[in-house]
């Protein structure tokens, strides 16, 4: 066993094959967050519904997808579904697994956001005869969204790293390509250190985005805000 080779580490850091994997990781993360948000919103609404069937489905969904490892979910989707005649391909299998998984977490985050909006907000809107739909889109959702950002940011952070599990079903993202590079020269530490740097970099970029989101959606609560906001039409 050799010592850590800094030159090899730097080489891997600028390795185009590995950078290609970074793009796949970014793509997987973005698509899973988008899909997870849509599905998570639907599940959250079902979970908050008065309808027992919808509520029961949502509870079961969340229980199952938060209760089983993502790794198992991915393997089952990738190897199990084809046996039922559903052939999805590697990327699609990974996306479906990641979205289903992420949605279960986001559903609870979304629900907690809605529950944190003070009841007085709804009462004021009711008293003003604001239609139900408008109350949802204009009163509760924007306020819930602000409260959701910190836990949502956490979840995206986890997801970004959890995409590495897709390597198990041979999606060529950062982790899979690191494995492949590692098998060439067995410079285990150097390759994975480079991969870790990429994850750190991506997470740091997301941190910045999250900060922007927080200050954007928190600006109306700033007592000392000087400027008035642009008119929204």
Partner 1 sequence: MTNDTHHGLGEKDQYAVRMEAVYKRYGDFTALTEIDLKVGKGERIVICGPSGSGKSTLIRCINHIEKHDEGLIFVNGIELQHNPKSIDRVRRETGMVFQNFNLFPHMTILENCVLAPMSAHRLSRKDAEDRARALLERVHIADQAQKFPAQLSGGQQQRVAIARALCMQPKVMLFDEPTSALDPEMVKEVLETMKSLVGDGMTMICVTHEMGFAREVADRVVFMDRGRIVEQAPPDQFFTAPQTERARYFLDQIIH
Instruction: Please give the residue ranges that form the binding site for partner 1 (CB under 8 A).
Output: 118, 120-121, 123-131, 134, 138-139, 142-143, 146, 217, 220-225, 228-229, 232-233
Structural element, H or E, at residue 160: helix 141-162
Residue 223 Cβ vs partner 1, minimum distance, rounded to whole Å: 5
Residue 206 Cβ vs partner 1, minimum distance, rounded to whole Å: 24
Instruction: Choose between 2 and 133: whose C-beta lies nearer to partner 1.
Output: 133
Phi and psi of 9, rounded to 5°? -60, -45
Contacts of 207-211 with CB under 8 Å at 24 or more apart are 207/153, 207/157, 210/149, 210/150, 210/153, 210/156
Residue 147 Cβ vs partner 1, minimum distance, rounded to whole Å: 11
Task: Output the six-digit token pair for 49.
Answer: 């519904």
Instruction: Choose between 82 and 131: whose C-beta lies nearer to partner 1.
Output: 131
Instruction: Choose between 81 and 141: whose C-beta lies nearer to partner 1.
Output: 141
231 contact partners, CB below 8 Å, separation of at least 6: none
Instruction: Choose between 112 and 140: whose C-beta lies nearer to partner 1.
Output: 140
Task: Output the six-digit token pair for 6.
Answer: 């800094």
Find the angle CA(68)-CA(74)-CA(77) to the nearest 5 degrees: 105
DSSP 79: I
Instruction: Choose between 67 and 118: whose C-beta lies nearer to partner 1.
Output: 118
| E strands present in the chain | none
Tell me how long the chain is: 233
Instruction: Choose between 2 and 223: whose C-beta lies nearer to partner 1.
Output: 223
Residue 44 Cβ vs partner 1, minimum distance, rounded to whole Å: 20
As a whole number of Å, the end-to-end CA separation of the chain is 65
Residue 113 Cβ vs partner 1, minimum distance, rounded to whole Å: 13
Residue 42 Cβ vs partner 1, minimum distance, rounded to whole Å: 23
């Amino acid at each position: 066993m050799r010592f850590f080779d800094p030159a090899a580490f730097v080489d891997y850091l600028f390795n185009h094959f590995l950078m290609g994997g970074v793009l796949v990781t970014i793509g997987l993360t973005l698509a899973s967050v988008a899909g997870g948000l849509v599905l998570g919103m639907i599940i959250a609404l079902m979970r908050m519904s008065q309808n027992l069937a919808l509520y029961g489905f949502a509870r079961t969904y969340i229980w199952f997808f938060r209760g089983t490892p993502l790794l198992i979910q991915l393997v089952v989707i990738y190897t199990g579904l084809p046996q039922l005649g559903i052939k999805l391909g590697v990327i699609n299998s990974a996306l479906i697994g990641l979205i289903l998984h992420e949605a279960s977490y986001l559903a609870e985050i979304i629900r907690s956001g809605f529950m944190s909006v003070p009841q007085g907000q709804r009462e004021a809107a009711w008293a003003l005869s604001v239609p139900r739909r408008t109350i949802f889109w204009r009163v509760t959702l924007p306020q819930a969204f602000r409260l959701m950002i910190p836990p949502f940011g956490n979840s995206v952070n986890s997801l970004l790293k959890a995409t590495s599990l897709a390597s198990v079903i041979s999606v060529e993202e950062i982790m899979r390509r690191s494995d492949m590079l590692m098998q060439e020269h067995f410079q285990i530490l150097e390759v994975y250190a480079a991969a870790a740097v990429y994850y750190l970099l991506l997470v740091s970029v997301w941190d910045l985005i999250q900060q922007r989101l927080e200050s954007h959606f928190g600006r109306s609560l700033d007592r000392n805000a000087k400027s008035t906001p642009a008119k929204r039409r």
